[in-house]
Structure 1
Amino acid sequence: MSTPAGDSPGWTAADIPSLVGRSYIVTGANSGLGYQTSLALAQHGAHVVLAVRDLEKGAAAVESIRAADAEANVEARHLDLADLDSVREFSAGVDRVDVLINNAGVMWTPRTLSAQGYELQFAVNHLAHFALTGLLIDVLAAGRDARVVTVTSFLHKQGFMHFDDLNGEHKYSRRGFYAQSKLANVVFGLELHRRLRANGVPVSSVLAHPGYSATNLQSAGPKGMQKLGLKIGNRLLAQDAQMGALPQLYAATHPEVESGQFIGPNGRREQKGYPALVEPLDAARDRGTARRLWDLSEEMSGVYYSLPR
């Protein structure tokens, strides 16, 4: 059974402290969990950069947030996580950030390659966020109570690292490679925590997952019967995006959150509920897997951290 993450298992966005003077970047912020996260942060006084692939949709999200809160300090900037050149371009324009929320993702897509030729789910969900974090780590270290929040999924527990076939050239499963990318998120978040602490860098690495939350993630990638099944599941079983965003909001804002923690819903099978401390798959803690993934991620992305293990 999950342990409550804070004073009460019923923590909500209303409990977020004042964020005036703090700066956040949220990837995939124009809809779903990213939008709800950005809205809540802005409503509590933060400056929020919505990092989005489609600037037109990003502008609409900014307008919607400002309609909900006329004082909202928000802006949209272009970031295409399927292209590492876009990640570098975006990062070069960031001169201040306190918290980076690696939220964006794709799910159960047909086998597709990124601009650099990597399997899309691994490239977007893990590799681009690995690169983005590395490119911004020095800027983050200059921030106040700096954090990296990496958003994963309870489906990481079904994941396996296909190190000999990361691009799915020999065998590809939409669901399997999604689970792999979410496992990579967890392995990365925990290893980042270890390296930050070992090197005395004043940045926290925190993991979060939304449980089973109804967003457009389930409709954008899956096709056919999978898409239909998820549509029915969203109606019957899922919680809404506002509830699903609570774990990452807790991870990003609660003053008692510690580096290395993992926040998810406190309900049955971690599918629904309020923010609580949860545990990752045991295999995600394996140091050998972490070193191998880290080294491969640096090589594939061309982004090398100054964080010796």
Structure 2
Amino acid sequence: MLAVPSSSSMATAVLIAAVVGGGVLLLMRRLFPRQKPVKLLRYPAGVMGGKTVIVTGANSGIGKALAGELLKLHARVIMACRDLRSAEDAARDIRREARSDQGEVVVKHLDLASLRSVRKFCEEVNKEESRVDVLINNAGIYQCPYSKTEDGFEIQLGVNHLGHFLLTHLLLDRLKASAPSRIIVVSSKLYKYGHINFDDLNSERSYNKAFCYSQSKLANLLFTLQLAHQLQGTGVTVNALTPGIVRTRLGRHVQIPLLAKPLFHLASLLFFKSPLEGAQTPLYLACSQEVEGVSGKCFADCEEEELMDKATDEQAAKSLWDMSRRMVGLTD
């Protein structure tokens, strides 16, 4: 016969489970502090009507949620993605969710790890599109094992910074012709843990995947700062943002112990932003009249964010700009 647990042993088990569970939740709160509630933005349905918006990395996460919201606001959304099959699936999803009253979605191939692909994409856009009103540099990769892009760049620097650097430059004429227009750069609060290693920008001597991600996100902010100076008087603004901790596929390369995965998943559900919540600040920067004419700033939760000194270092921004131009083959 099976032994039936006594009521006292069951009570003890419940108490132990409660204590352990409470301890786990407290640990999660320390590791992943709850972010302040995100208010979902509401704009008039046609506010982006007649405007063309390019979103890189629009097949998942923040990019997909952002593309869906822009579609509902009647924008012509160009989803610029490396994985065309995934992008087509995402396009079907957001068309279905937007229902009948929507803008237009176009899927185009863009591999930011290939400068050849970036140039081809920009040639097509400049040839086929009469205007580009908003460029959203959203795509990114996070803490990858060491590898190089097609052009020999460390992969995180190449995709997160250099690919977008060239993309933005090759679309500037179209953005200027469409002024007032906007460029939006998605960075990360993890920029705080990096610096620009000018002596080994390509991580040839040593590779730390966490540092290289932080370096690339700091590069995003310095690029925004210098580009804002370059664009003064053109009618084109550029601003960066840090979206916070969002449930996306960005962390797919992070190694989590098998036993910890259920806890991490629970933490993500309890404490991380949803992709739609993470999309609110780039949506604000793309649509709001409140930021008309504002340039060279960084935002978080739809408010201007104060940055560390290293992200507002004018000399570092200029040095990185010059080095990046040489690396991607731009000449005066």
TM-score for the superposition, normalised by structure 1: 0.87
CA shift digits 1:102-152 (9 cap, x unpaired): 000000001110000000000000000000000000000011420110000
Larger relative helix fraction: 2
Tell me which of 268, 271, 288 is aligned to 1:237.
Answer: 271
CA distance in 2: counterparts of 1:49 and 1:303, whole angstroms: 25
Structure 2 partner of 1:83? 114
Structure 2 partner of 1:119? 154
CA distance in 2: counterparts of 1:16 and 1:184, whole angstroms: 35
Tell me which of 280, 294, 303 is aligned to 2:330.
Answer: 303
Matched, 1:211 2:244: yes
CA distance in 1: counterparts of 2:264 and 2:44, whole angstroms: 31
Secondary structure, aligned partner of 2:234: coil
CA distance in 2: counterparts of 1:296 and 1:189, whole angstroms: 15
Tell me which of 254, 261, 266 is aligned to 2:297.
Answer: 261
Matched, 1:14 2:42: yes
CA distance in 1: counterparts of 2:95 and 2:270, whole angstroms: 32
Structure 1 partner of 2:142? 107
Q: Percent identity?
A: 39
Unmatched 5+ stretches in structure 2: 1-36
Q: After the TM superposition, which of the residue ranges 83-92 and 231-240 deviates more from structure 2?
A: 231-240
CA shift digits 1:158-203 (9 cap, x unpaired): 1111111122222211111000000000000011111111xx2220
CA distance in 2: counterparts of 1:208 and 1:260, whole angstroms: 11
Matched, 1:73 2:108: no
User: Structure 2 vs 1, CA of residues 188 and 75 (structure 1 numbering), >3 Å: closer, same or farther?
Assistant: same
Query: Following superposition, which runs of at least 4 residues in structure 1 exceed 6 angstroms of deviation?
Result: none
State the 1:230 CA deviation: 5.9
Unmatched 5+ stretches in structure 1: 1-8, 266-274
Larger Rg: 2
Structure 2 partner of 1:289? 316
Secondary structure, aligned partner of 1:101: strand
Secondary structure, aligned partner of 1:14: coil
Structure 2 partner of 1:3? none
CA distance in 1: counterparts of 2:176 and 2:192, whole angstroms: 31
State the 1:261 CA deviation: 2.2
> CA RMSD for the aligned pairs?
1.9
Secondary structure, aligned partner of 1:51: strand
Greater RCO (CA < 8 Å, at least 6 residues apart): 1
Matched, 1:49 2:78: yes
Tell me which of 150, 161, 174 is aligned to 2:196.
Answer: 161
TM-score for the superposition, normalised by structure 2: 0.82
Tell me which of 78, 94, 97 is aligned to 2:125.
Answer: 94
Alignment check: 8 A CA contact 1:204 1:260 kept: yes
State the 1:250 CA deviation: 0.8
Amino acid across the alignment from 1:250: Y
Count the aligned residue pairs: 285
CA shift digits 1:70-119 (9 cap, x unpaired): 33310100000000100000000113211000000000001110000000
Alignment check: 8 A CA contact 2:242 2:300 kept: yes
Amino acid across the alignment from 2:43: D
Q: After the TM superposition, which of the residue ranges 142-151 and 184-193 deviates more from structure 2?
A: 142-151
Secondary structure, aligned partner of 1:212: coil
State the 1:303 CA deviation: 2.6
Matched, 1:133 2:168: yes
